[in-house]
């Protein structure tokens, strides 16, 4: 069984007990969340297709930890101008584990 959910504008394919990362929530992160935006789900041979979401379906997720992604360097060098700039960025992430997938 798996489902494709829409979480913060990102589509994520999830299965039971799978772990995935998304951008950190703007507010304080709860201990667990309930995602009701299920776009598609598959249970054995039965398929659930949403228009745009599957009615009555939701995914329960547990927040494991908040962390930061790997450092990304943006380096600009301008030839023969004596100018260069270097900027670093680390994305704030939250790691989620799927507890249960409920279908209608």
Query: pTM of the full predicted structure?
Result: 0.82
Ramachandran angles phi, psi of 29, nearest 5°: -75, 130
In tens, the pLDDT along 19-74 reads 999 999 888 878 999 999 999 999 989 999 999 999 999 999 999 999 999 999 99
Q: What angle do CA 90, 17, 54 make, to 5 degrees?
A: 90
Predicted pLDDT of residue 24 = 92
């Amino acid at each position: 069984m798996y489902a494709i959910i829409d979480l913060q504008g990102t589509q994520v394919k999830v299965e039971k007990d799978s772990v995935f990362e998304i951008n950190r929530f703007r507010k304080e992160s709860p201990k667990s969340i309930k995602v009701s935006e299920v776009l598609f789900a598959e249970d054995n041979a039965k398929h659930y297709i949403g228009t745009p979401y599957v009615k009555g379906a939701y995914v329960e997720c547990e927040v494991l930890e908040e962390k930061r992604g790997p450092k990304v360097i943006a380096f600009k060098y301008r030839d023969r101008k004596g100018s260069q700039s270097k900027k670093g960025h680390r994305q704030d992430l939250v790691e989620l584990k799927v507890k249960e997938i409920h279908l209608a």
